[in-house]
Chain A
Amino acid sequence: MTVTRPNPVTPQLLAGFGVAVVFAAIVPHLVSDFTSFQFTQAMAYGIALLGLNILTGYNGQFSIGHSAFYAVGAYTAAILLYHFEWNHYATLPVAALVAFVVGFLFGLPALRLEGLYLALATFAFAVATPQLLKFDAFEHWTGGVQGLFVPKPEPLIEGLSADQSLYYVTLAVMVLLMAVAWCLLHSRSGRAMMAIRDNPIAASTMGINTALYKTTVFGISAMYTGIAGALSVFVTEFVAPDAFNFFLAVNLLIGSVVGGIVSIPGVIFGGLFLVFVPNFAQDISRAYPFVPPPWAIFGIFLILAIYFVPFGVWGAVERAFAWWKRKSAA
């Protein structure tokens, strides 16, 4: 018996995607370099969140240690730039590969760990990372506590500022990685990943090699986050161990949930939330002396987000769209 599935590439999807890309391409010409820089940061976070969504949202494995993979990508790029003077963009595939290998290897013991235990193991990795980066034996390479300086990439096209150019590169990488993730999740492998998430026993009875899938997904997730880390180095022009502490790991989880953990486009909103909400919280805290301190305001925003859009921003968009469709059909 053959089953025919509806083609997932709908005209609405293509149209929405096209509009979003065109809009994103205009943005740097409407805003200042500084704002472009903030959007670039948000997109880099978005790519990391995509990695986390693939792992947690679509495969049901928990990680509160993705800051470590972010650091792996960041330091791979920084070391190649600083010690070997590579071209910036040539470091991206290497950072991706290194992060994939580290993630895959980390995923191996993860097979024996489920749920909370896996989360704790990743937590340990996140906590250890900044200290390992300061460790003497690696200091020659990592620069120790002081970190490493790397220059921003030169503009690719004449007439663009360095910030605008980097914005476009990051946008291109993000769009590519989103497309790859979309194809992956709509393939046989994607359905297997979700089957493992929903019912691992049933999935293995169906003949899915859960062990191989889980480790590979861990690797892919780490790879996405590693690429994001490498891009973040281009943006901030500096790496130091203190940038990759546990707080970053928690932030990534927050961004993922706020954007919508079972979604691809949601990561954009997650990234924007991580960059702009702390700033916004600080601005209002500074403007009005009677309001609570910035992180308390951030907390309030977070609670509001979870209360009003429990499935994340993209979850809410999808539900609104479904409601509209039902209504117009009736």
Chain B
Amino acid sequence: MRTGKLLAAAAAAALLAGTAQAADMTGITDKTIKIGNTNPYSGPASVYSVIGKTISAYFEMVNEMGGVQGRQIDFISLDDGYSPPRTVEQVRKLVEQEQVALLFQTLGTPTNSAIHRYVNSKKVPHLFVATGASKWGQPNKYPWTMGFQPTYDVEGEIYAKYVLENVENPKVAILFQNDDYGKDYRDGFLHGLGDKADELVVSMLPYEVTDPTVDSQILKMQESGANVFFNITIPKFAAQAIRKSCEIGWKPVHLLNNVSSSVGATLTPAGLECSTGLITALYVKDPVDPQWRDDPGYKEWLGFMEKNLPDADMTDVNYAYGYNVSKLMHHVLDTCEDLSREGIMGCAANLKGVELPMIMPGITVNTSPDDFYPIQSEQLARFDGKRWVTFGDVIHAGSH
């Protein structure tokens, strides 16, 4: 009789141990959740380090308010200097030594590429990575990695939709930077044009980031008779392209990629008059745009910034970006019933209509087990000589 009871107890214990093993609780206790991150606090991409600082400040605030489901967030953010081998080392340190529950917002395309396979083989959630490349949403191949922002090719598709619906008899010229960023945008745009792409595109010219100017490309595009110009360039070249086309009197429907939509960095040097009428796609509320002054989301962000990061440069849109993505991570952890690695991944892959304070109204976060692209909508805006004025509906590109 006694042995029977013992056996039953042993069986129950084994069963419990079995279930405990099934759910990977690494980095998660009743009191804390450990989250790992890499950011370029030094090196060529250190302008983005404000994102890491914003996230740190955000979780400190969350901890002061009692944490997430009664647990304090232990956010460990390490410097990788934007160097892939360094990222590998730091991420292995986070996963193997620090035993973090998940990785969040690791920043950069080459750096995340370096750890993509490693984190998936270790089955560590690799959430809301900070890059615009399109390869972070492959749940079949990489079920532990998920992106965040609209990818470059999604944005390209949005412009294509706009052209097809609004321009009569379009003849398109495309200028693109000859690298992964430029090609992602270009391919998304061509995909959006569909079968007619070959007919509609009359001129497609690359430039190298080492080129001095893009003047000759602009002249060739004007000669091609194009009435739509998709400008896939970084700020320096965007300003040149805007200025040159203005000087030679070429007035196409000018679509400028979001990468160069900064008024200060691109449009002012190009000339505000020449920039009037440009069209771009936005998804983050620009903190300097006066139309958000009374917006509750903006006020919430401003309150957070003034209290927690009082010395920050409030015109830097990266603070808004960091706040948005922290808020999303907070939301996932706060609403997730199963706080294990699998559980958190499952919650991140079942987000429906989540609104974030500094994201444009009408754009929400949506994911599903087959859709690892959280934000896939953007809002078009036209430059009126002073600021971007949004128009039309939010455009969703959901080809992924």
Contacts and interface: CB of A to CB of B under 8 A. Distances in A.
Given A32-B97, A236-B88, A242 B82 contact: yes
Nearest to A148: B113
A232 interface: yes
B85 A243 contact: yes
B309 interface: no
Given A146-B109, A282-B78, A37 B97 contact: no
A134 B179 contact: yes
Interface string A225-250: 00000001001111111110101000
B317 to A, nearest CB: 24
A149 interface: yes
**Majority secondary structure of chain B interface residues (helix, strand, loop or mixed):** helix
A146 B96 contact: no
B96 A242 contact: no
Contacts of A131: 210
B42 A237 contact: no
Contact of A237 (B93, B110, B117): B117
Interface string A212-236: 0000000000000000000010011
B88 A147 contact: no
A170 to B, nearest CB: 15
Interface in B332-389: none
B109 A145 contact: yes
A235 B84 CA distance: 12
Contacts of A33: 96
A32 B84 CA distance: 22
Contacts of A146: 109-110, 113, 180
A311 B92 CA distance: 34
B114 A245 contact: no
B289 interface: no
B355 to A, nearest CB: 33
Contacts, number: 76
A266 interface: no
Given A243-B83, A282-B78, A238 B114 contact: yes
A37 B83 CA distance: 17
B43 A247 contact: yes
A145 B109 CA distance: 9
Contacts of A240: 84, 110, 113-114
B40 to A, nearest CB: 11
B84 A147 contact: yes
B96 A144 contact: no
Interface string B210-250: 10000000000000000000000000000000000000000
Interface string A135-150: 0100000001111010
B98 to A, nearest CB: 10
B79 A243 contact: no
B178 interface: yes
Interface in A30-52: 32-34, 37-38, 41
Given A38-B89, A282-B79, A144 B84 contact: no
A295 interface: yes
**Majority secondary structure of chain A interface residues (helix, strand, loop or mixed):** helix
Contacts of B117: 149, 237
- Interface centre among A34, A41, A131, A245, by most B CB within 10 Å? A34
Interface in A268-316: 275, 279, 282, 293-295
A104 to B, nearest CB: 27
A41 B84 CA distance: 14
- Interface centre among B114, B118, B178, by most A CB within 10 Å? B114
A287 to B, nearest CB: 12
Interface string B70-101: 00000000110111110011001100110000
Contact of A145 (B41, B42, B81, B180): B180
A236 B180 CA distance: 22
Contacts of A241: 110
A247 to B, nearest CB: 7
A221 B311 CA distance: 49
Nearest to B45: A242
Nearest to A242: B110
A240 B174 CA distance: 28
A195 B114 CA distance: 45
A245 B79 contact: no
A305 B93 CA distance: 26
B83 A245 contact: yes
Given A146-B110, A146-B180, A237-B118, A34 B97 contact: yes
Contacts of A295: 42
B179 A41 contact: no
B83 A242 contact: yes
Given A34-B96, A237-B118, A147 B113 contact: yes
- Interface centre among A33, A134, A243, by most B CB within 10 Å? A243
Interface in B179-221: 179-180, 210
Nearest to B78: A282
A32 B162 CA distance: 55
B84 A243 contact: yes
A84 to B, nearest CB: 20
Contact of A294 (B79, B82, B96, B116): B79
Nearest to A149: B117
Interface in A104-151: 131, 134, 136, 144-147, 149
A144 B179 contact: yes
B88 A237 contact: yes
- Interface centre among B41, B43, B85, B88, by most A CB within 10 Å? B85
A139 to B, nearest CB: 9
Contact of B178 (A37, A136, A236): A136
17 contacts: A34-B97, A37-B92, A144-B179, A145-B180, A149-B113, A149-B117, A236-B85, A236-B114, A237-B88, A237-B117, A237-B118, A238-B114, A240-B114, A241-B110, A242-B44, A242-B83, A279-B93
Interface of B: 41-44, 78-79, 81-85, 88-89, 92-93, 96-97, 109-110, 113-114, 116-118, 178-180, 210
Interface of A: 32-34, 37-38, 41, 131, 134, 136, 144-147, 149, 232, 235-243, 245, 247, 275, 279, 282, 293-295
Given A144-B179, A242-B110, 8 more contacts: A33-B96, A38-B89, A136-B178, A149-B113, A241-B110, A243-B83, A275-B89, A279-B93
Shortest Cβ-Cβ A-B pairs, 5 listed: A34-B96, A238-B114, A240-B110, A236-B85, A236-B88
